[in-house]
Amino acid sequence: MAQLYARARGAPPPELFDAVAAFVPPPADALEIGCGPGNATLPLLERGFRIHAVELGENLAAFARERLAAFPFTVEVGKFEDVSLEAASVGLVVCSSAFHWLDREPALRQVVKVLKPGGALALIWGSPRRTAEDNLVDEAIQAAYRAHAPEISRQTVDRMGGKVDEIGQALRDTPELCDFEERLFPQTHLFDRQRYLDTLATFSDHATMPAEQRARLFEAIGEIIDGQFGGRVERHSTARLQLARRR
């Protein structure tokens, strides 16, 4: 799964990481929450950050450790809310597409604790940006979900945007944080059948589906991509970067 995640998910655009580096100029010590296979870690390391990560998954941590062995990178396995962290020890805390899984209040207490005064929290998200073409693809593919996985709907994806908005408000409401801002980075992705299905396989609601049900769903989606769209679909998204500074 770690290799699949690294290959299928990719990373946000370089401009997003340039914005992080402008907000907290490297070299600097950073803490990453939930590094996964290191897709967001690598661009930050390449920009001069020294990173220690806390990752819940042992396999993901091992994969990232091996992948990033040439860089100033360490990782420990654990739950971010519970690990022991040195106070005022880093200039940057970063988390890509994982902060919504955390227990928000203790997680924010950990962030406030570990950041140096003037340091920053950077939360990275991906959200759909629907064009007319995206709506056409969505409508076609929804037929496969209605037939094989009606419990998964387009509305599930839409609700994620609301969670990100709630987290942004929580940052604004945290007294120890200030200078909140959000920046948006449009992206365009071209998927062939296999890459599209590989990406779906990394989402928790698809990964936890019974294997036979997932196979039927993926076969139906693959047939739609091949039969109705010539084997390739273009999808559009927005990478969202939420920034806040430690007082």
- Model pLDDT for residues 63-118, shown as the tens digit of each residue: 999 999 999 999 999 999 999 999 999 999 999 999 999 999 999 999 999 999 99
Which residues is 52 bridged to in the sheet?
A: 31, 74
Q: Which two tokens stand for residue 178?
A: 């200030």
Domain range summary for the chain, segments of one domain joined by +: 2-130+155-189+238-246
- How far from the centroid of its chain's Cα atoms is residue 27's Cα? 23
The answer to whether the beta carbons of residues 126 and 95 sit under 8 Å apart is no
Per-residue pLDDT of 200-242, as tens digits, reads: 999 889 999 999 999 999 999 999 999 999 999 999 999 999 9
- How far from the centroid of its chain's Cα atoms is residue 205's Cα? 15
pTM (two decimals): 0.92
In the predicted model, what is the mean pLDDT of residues 133-143? 94
CATH 3.40.50.150 matches 2-130+155-189+238-246: yes
